[in-house]
Structure 1
Amino acid sequence: MTVIKQQLQSFLEKHRIQPDTAYAGIVWFDHEDIKAKENEPFRIFSQSRYSIRDFGMDPVSQDKLEDAFKLCERTPSACNRQSARLHVFTDRDKINQLCKMQMGCKGFYKSFQGLILVCADMTCYSFHEPNQYFVDGGLYSMNLMYALHANDIANIPLTMGHKTKHLKAIKKAMSIPANEMPILLIGYGSYKDKWKVAASKRKSWKSYVSWNS
C-alpha cells in the first residue's frame, strides 16, 4: 500500500494535480456516534446511514433482522400488491457463491455475515406494467436498508442489474422461483468500533429539482 501511495503522489506532482478533498477521499466513523443517531429524528437518522464495506465480527441476531422485516411491512406498493419477496442467506458457501455471481463486491464480501436478496413476485402485475416491480422493489429495498440501520445492522446495496441470462443462472443456483425477479442484493453485518467509508460527495437537491407551477 505504501508503494501505491508513493506512486500516486508522484503522479499528482508530475501532472500538477491538486486533489479536491471536498469531493473525494474517506471519512472515519465511530460506532457509538452512529448508534446514538439511530434513534434521532429522521433528518438526523437518514443522514447517518452509509454503505459499509468494512464489517465487524459481532454476530447479527435474527431478532434484529426480523424486527427490520417487520418495520418494512408498510412499504407502499402499486395497488397494495405487496410483491416483495426476501431470500436470506447465512450459509458461508452460499454467500460466497452469490457474491461471486453478483460480480460487484469482490474486495469486501468475505466480511458479510449474510445476504438479503430482495425479489419481486412478477405475478402481482399485469402485462402492461413491465417495470412496476422494479419501482415497488426499489421502494422496499430503501425502506429495508433504513430498517436495518435502525436495528444497528451495517449494510450495503449491491446491484442486480444483470442481463436476463445471468439472472436466470443466479436464480437457478440460489433456488429462486421462476416467477420472481431479483431487484437488489443487500450485504449485511455488524459495525466495527471505528471504520471508514468513501466520502461520496452528493449533489445539492437544487441541481436536480424543477418547480413546475
Structure 2
Amino acid sequence: MYRLLKSAPQVFMEYVKDFSRYLKYSGTLDGTPAQNLLARITATYHNIEKGLSLPQPRLGFGKENLGNLIEAIHKYQRLYGPSHPVLSSAIEVLATYASYHETHDYPDYPCKREILKMLAARPRHPAQMGGTRLVTRERIMQAVSPVSEQFFLQRHSIRAFSDREVDLADIEAAIRVAQKSPVVCNRQSGAVHVIADPELIQAALDLQMGARGFSHAVNKLLVVTVDLRNFWQAGERNQGWMDGGMFAMSLIYGLHLRGLGSCCLNWSKTNRQTQQMRELLGLQQWESIIMLIAVGHIPEQVVVPFSSRKDPLLVTRVITKWQK
C-alpha cells in the first residue's frame, strides 16, 4: 500500500502529461497544420501504393482514399503553397494509378477528371517520387547473399572506444540505412540529432546517467527522435515508439555496417527530464526522444558483456491449427 500511494500519483501525472502533449501536437484534434496535413497525405497515398503493389489489384479500387487524397492535396496547396516533395510523391502515385487502369482497359476509374487535371498541372521530376517499381528475387538475393548470421551475432554494445575521429560521412551512410526501416504508412517520423561537441556530449550523457565510466571516450552522440505530428487518433498513441525503435535499430546496424561501435542508452525518463534534454539540445516540443546512441571506433580488443540470450524455443509459439 505504501508503494502504491507513493508511486501511483507520479505515474498518473506522467500519463496525463503524455496525454496532453499527444492531443496538442498530433493530428487528432486538428489536421490542418502543415506537418499534420503532410502526414495524412503520405498515409493516404501510401494506401493507394499498397493497393497497386498487390498481385492483382482490383480495378477501380480506392475511391474513398483517392477522394481524400485529392482533397488533402488541394487543402495543403491552398494553405501552404503549390509544391512540396510529399505532394510530388502523392501526385506520382495518382499517375501510376491512372496508368494502371488505362493499360487494363478501365478508363472510367474513380476521380478520373480530378486526377487528370492534377497530372496536367504537375511539374516534371527527373527521378521517380512515388508509385510502384518492379524488383526481382535475383536482385534481392544478390544483395543479401554476402550477409551471414554473424553480421548480427557480432554486433555488441561497445563501451570502450579508440581515440580515432568518427567521420560524419559514415554516420550519414548509417542514417540512409535507417531510412529504409518499416514505418507506419511511409510517414518516416524518425530523426537523428548528431552531437559532435565534446562538452555537449558530456552534458547530455550527464543528464542520461547511463554512460558512467566511458562517457569521456564517446566520439559522437546520436539522439534519435520521432515527430509526434505524424500520428493521430487513439490507436496511434504508441506508434511513435514502435516506428522510432525500428528506426533506431536499423541505424545501429547501419553503424555496424560501417565498422563503428555503438552503445544504446535508454531514455526512460520523466517529462521534466525530457524537457531538460529538449532545452539542452534545442529540440522541438513535438519531438519524442527514443534513445541516445554512443558512437566511436572499436579498439583492437574490447571487453563486452556476455549477454546470454534465451533459447529461441522459449520465445516462439507456432500455431499450426486454429480452432474458433
Q: Is the 8 A contact 2:224 2:289 kept in 1?
A: yes
**Deviant stretches of 4+, over 4 Å:** none
Deviation at 1:40, TM superposition (A): 5.0
Q: Which residue is 1:190 aligned to?
A: 297
Q: When the two structures are superposed, what TM-score results if normalisation uses the length of structure 2?
A: 0.53
Q: When the two structures are superposed, what TM-score results if normalisation uses the length of structure 1?
A: 0.79
1:49-198 alignment runs, 5 A limit: 49-128=155-234, 129-198=236-305
**1:129-161 alpha-carbon deviations (Å, 9 max, x no partner):** 111000000000000000000001110000011
Distance 2:292 2:211 in 1: 11
Distance 1:59 1:40 in 2: 28
Q: 2:151 aligns with which of 24, 28, 45?
A: 45
**Count of residue pairs brought into register by the alignment:** 175
What's the secondary structure of 2:178's corresponding residue? helix
Larger relative CO (CA 8 A, sep 6+): 1 or 2?
1
What's the secondary structure of 1:58's corresponding residue? coil
**1:164-183 alpha-carbon deviations (Å, 9 max, x no partner):** 11111111111111110000
Q: Which residue is 1:36 aligned to?
A: none
List alignment gaps of at least 5 residues for structure 1.
1-38
1:4-23 alignment runs, 5 A limit: none
What's the secondary structure of 1:156's corresponding residue? strand
Distance 2:233 2:192 in 1: 23
Task: Evaluate the alpha carbon distance shift between residue 177 and residue 42 of structure 1 in structure 2; reply closer, same or farther with a 3 A threshold.
Answer: farther
Deviation at 1:127, TM superposition (A): 3.2
Distance 1:113 1:141 in 2: 18
Distance 1:91 1:47 in 2: 32
More helix by share: 2
More strand by share: 1
Cα-Cα RMSD: 1.2
Percent of pairs with identical residues = 27
